[in-house]
Structure 1
Amino acid sequence: MFSRRIVGWCVDLTMEESLIIRAFDQATALRRPKSGLIVHSDQGGQYFGKVFQKRLDKWACRQSMAEKDNPY
């Protein structure tokens, strides 16, 4: 099941790992997802960061990434 509701977002001057971690933490605090959640993103380097990967592991999320230069 899914929702079109935005559940986690953050803005900053730069696109660093800490930015997506803040948005992810906001979303997980609000929705408390079950294990197996699929987190889809592009192949930006911040999504490969160690801290973000630990967050995915903590929530037992599966990571999905689009092909390079393809947002779908």
Structure 2
Amino acid sequence: MIGVSGVTMFYIALSIHFSINVNGTLALMFVLIGAIATSRLHLKAHTNVELLIGFFIGLLPQLILVNYWL
């Protein structure tokens, strides 16, 4: 969750900064986030809270870097 959410936020920032259309890539990334979260829950490897924390841990560094980059 940390890795895929970080890459997703990177693509969002890239899209905003360069004003390019990456909707297909973003759709694929959100499907991957859902698939990873579903598989982790199905295997009982994590709880909902752990997945949300992992998602935001991956998202937060990208959000911080966007302030310096954009």
Between 1 and 2, higher relative CO (CA 8 Å, sep ≥ 6) is seen in 2
TM-score under structure 2 length normalisation: 0.38
TM-score under structure 1 length normalisation: 0.37
Q: From the CA coordinates, give the structure whose radius of gyration is larger.
A: 2
Higher helix content, 1 or 2: 2
Higher strand content, 1 or 2: 1
